[in-house]
Chain A
Amino acid sequence: MAKKGTKSKPQLPPLAPAGKKGSKAAPPPKAAKRVPKKQMLLESSDDSDTEQPQQLQEEDSDIDVPSDSDAEELSGSDAEAEGGSSSGEEVEEDEDEGDDESDDDSLADDFLADSDEGSGNLLRSLVGFTEGGDSGLDSDDSDDLEAKSRAIDERQQKAEDDAEEELKTNIRSESDEFKLPTAEELEEEAHLPPNLPNLKRRISEIVRVLSNFNKLRQKDVPRKDYVNQLKTDIMSYYGYNDFLIETLIEMFPAVELVEVLEAFEKRPPECLRTNTLKTRRRDLAAALIPRGFNLDPIGKWSKVGLVVYDSTISAGATTEYMAGHYMKQGASSFLPVMALAPQEKERIVDMAAAPGGKTTYIGALMKNTGIIYANEFNEKRLHGLLGNIHRMGVTNTIVCNYDGKELPKVLGMNSVDRVLLDAPCTGTGTIWKDPQIKTSKDIEDIRNCAFVQKQLLLAAIDLVDANSKTGGYVVYSTCSIMIPENEAVIDYALKKRNVKLVPCGLDFGRPGFIRYREHRFHTSLDKTRRFYPHVNNMDGFFVAKLKKLSNTIPVTSESTKASEGAAEMADSSEDDEDKKTVNDEREKGVPDKEEKAVQMKNRKETKKTNKGANITKESKHVPDRPAKHIKNHKKDALETDGPESTEPYVDGKEVHREETKQTGQKKKSTSDRTKKFGPKSTLGLKEKKPVSDTKRKRKWQFKLRRDWEAEKKSDKRRKV
């Protein structure tokens, strides 16, 4: 029966035509009501048992039925408000309601346990309407017909609205029900193998709570708890290590975080780049498609890219591949070369060229004119690079095997037009290619990479000729999404060299970060571009294009390598490894004498004492001394006597610290002084050279002792 259909889910469809009939017709409610009421009374006993359990299910079901039935089912479990309002609609049928009430009460108890009178009324009335349609018109209220039809429509509308609200409250009530698992629950879970669907559900729940925190949170549960639970869940579900998850949580909002993680779980799309030296994209596609490749152009942004959806044979095994007609390359690898935009007859350096995709792209863009220096530090990757270069028919290359930092010495400073630096990085943007990165990367790796990247970038900038007619650009790119490897490195270069950021020429991708947590980068960093797998469907990537403004190196960085180290210590927040390595540099480095002179001069400058004369004498001699000795002297303060070591040692420390905090100005002045100082020291050195080291040492020590004693005497005199 149709009435039964209204109650239970599987029997809904039969209601539909009935419902439609009901809405079209305008049956007199009174008569209609009386009829179904009786029917319901008859059937109440049957339905009461089936009704209650089904109520709860009906909320969840996808009900594809006219709103009447929705309202019916939902109103069954709903709160008073709706019932009350719906009953308000039924004012017209006072008579019926009066009759129905007693019946409704009994019926309500039976099978609409939670419902109110009002909602019961609504149910009855709606049922009555649908039933009334079937039973036909036996009304004598033709005048009321219009009003009644309007009432029916209003009621329907009301019912629909109520249904929607009902759904919403149900959803809300579901979310209110989401509670963070307690410690015991977590312990239990820890003992069992990870329940993946559960984890997934919990992750999406927490993300939802976090995105609407004020409304959806549990009382008195801090946000931190939710975040921590999310972290642990993600770690066990996706398999990341603690450090990576922390960084990702800091970088992305909760919803996007899940998108990122999901994107990294997928397989990267396979892309090819047509080698324009040998073929065209059109011809290549025409040759590959018959071999069973499902290809498409990669996008509007590239004229040479193809993306392979699937293929019967591997893309690396075709005749065209062996003939060098295309290169298998990630889509993101196109970007730095497009940003570089090499022109014909230019001199280009690719500082980290292996496996050669970018180098060959550069060669193709230049049409084999000009010259490319393809450098690769790692010998083992060299043969792959060579193979690719020669297979693709790029003839204008010189392939060498240097450490990128040495290239300015080999090729000469300010000697080339453009440099591409696709820096070695932690590779966090390529997790989908290499899932091992999820667990193996740590803060130390990032710091080490960042250090190397900074040095390489400075070397790259030094290679470029700012006065080049057509060029003067450096493109820096990494396949990582970590800020210390990307924005921080560019920021460092902006401070150290006369360069500025220019637009990459890539109109898609997100601008880089200008500020991130406690870091503040130069505002032009929004010209850099970041790419993500979940946004661009390519590896996580970062591209920045720098233009060299002048060949002179700013004095702040030139004055001393020591102060450069000091500046680094002051600048960067990841101090430790920088300090360590830069200190090493300092001790081994060439400008040690200068550095010592600077320190001496600084001490003189900051401490206004009578030791002026002594100090000048000492500092004059200081550059003459071998650097090693001075190093010892400085370190073994307690052992060797002397004013520099004992008395001013404490001060010396302070002085040193002050020096590190010096501004550019002071550095400039010190550098000037060193410049003045330089020739003097070398002259002194020439005189003393023939003396042997040990002899010199002892002489020096004697001298120090004498000076110290002299000083003591003068102090005593002063005190007295």
Chain B
Amino acid sequence: MRPLDEKETTQVFEKLFKFTGPNLKHLLERPAVEGPDPEPGRYCLRLHRNRVYYASEALVRRATAVARPRLAAVGTPIGKFTHHGSFHLTVHALDLLAAHARRRVWLKPDTERSFLFGNSVPKSSLARITENTKAGDGVVVMSMADVPLGFGIAARSAQDCRKADTNAVVVLHQADAGEYLRKEEELM
């Protein structure tokens, strides 16, 4: 487990920035809840076996005692580096993103299933969308009960969505909660 180097950090931040915008620094600078220490540390990112983990400093410190081949995870994983070096966010980051993301999309109740199976969101499924969404923004997909279902990239801006065709793709799927059931080998 090691801290990320410059290049890797920029890659991760870029991806996160699409969702959080200027909130990004808040992600790393908020006081950590975890850890048995009375004074809260901060959160940090660590790389372990091509996966990036978001954990509090207390956790990270204690995890150094565990041997590298034996360590499976620290804190929450947020994404992984692919074979050729690009970074993708995984579904495990959903909670974090849902808490800090600026743009959200709400789906109609009957259409949740389709998204949870890994399909992109067509205009017909759209119930609500945050006003100032722009194309290419990171968007968290929620159900009408405010349950985060996954996230993706907005294909159109909010205004364009109104004008769009019913079958036009509004949100490009990146990750959804159904992957917990579909992809068992996610984290290994």
Contact = CB atoms under 8 A, between A and B. Distances in A.
Contact of B147 (A323, A370, A412): A323
B44 to A, nearest CB: 13
A507 B166 CA distance: 59
Interface string B61-78: 011011101111111110
B33 A369 contact: yes
Interface string B29-58: 000011111100000000000000001101
A396 B33 contact: yes
Interface residues of B, number: 42
A396 B112 CA distance: 30
A340 B160 CA distance: 55
Contacts of B102: none
B36 A322 contact: no
Nearest to B95: A393
A560 interface: no
A302 B142 CA distance: 30
Interface string A122-159: 00000000000000000000000000000000000000
Interface in A375-403: 376, 382-387, 389-391, 393, 395-402
Contact of B72 (A382, A393, A410, A417): A382
A368 B181 contact: no
A371 B59 contact: yes
B164 interface: no
A347 interface: yes
B92 A398 contact: no
Interface in A415-448: 417
Contacts of A369: 33-36
Contacts of A399: 71-74
Interface stretch (A59-67, A178-186, A313-321, A480-488): A313-321
A406 to B, nearest CB: 9
B177 to A, nearest CB: 4
A398 B185 contact: no
Interface in B112-141: 112, 116
A316 B188 CA distance: 22
B92 A322 contact: no
A323 B149 contact: yes
B35 A382 contact: no
Given A369-B34, A371-B59, A386 B72 contact: yes
A130 to B, nearest CB: 71
Contacts of A384: 184
A605 B78 CA distance: 66
Contacts of A710: none
Nearest to A325: B147
A419 to B, nearest CB: 14
A319 B149 contact: yes
SS class, residues of chain A in contact with chain B: mixed
Given A383-B187, A387-B186, A396 B73 contact: no
A319 B143 contact: yes
B148 interface: yes
Contacts of A397: 73-75
A399 B62 CA distance: 12
A371 B58 contact: yes
A345 interface: yes
Nearest to A396: B34
Interface string B140-173: 0001010111000000000000000000000000
Contact of A322 (B34, B67, B75, B116): B116
A402 B74 contact: no
Contacts of A412: 65
A136 B80 CA distance: 101
B73 A317 contact: no
B73 A386 contact: yes
B56 to A, nearest CB: 8
B75 A395 contact: yes
Interface in A523-556: none
Nearest to B66: A400
B66 A390 contact: no
B187 A323 contact: no
A411 interface: yes
A415 to B, nearest CB: 9
Contacts of A390: 73, 76-77, 92, 187
Interface of A: 287, 316-317, 319-320, 322-325, 345-347, 367-371, 376, 382-387, 389-391, 393, 395-402, 410-412, 417
15 contacts: A319-B116, A324-B95, A324-B177, A325-B147, A345-B35, A368-B33, A370-B35, A371-B35, A383-B187, A384-B184, A386-B73, A387-B184, A393-B95, A395-B75, A401-B70
Given A320-B147, A345-B37, A410-B66, 18 more contacts: A319-B116, A322-B178, A323-B149, A324-B177, A345-B36, A369-B33, A371-B35, A382-B188, A383-B185, A383-B187, A386-B72, A390-B73, A391-B180, A395-B75, A396-B35, A398-B62, A399-B73, A402-B70
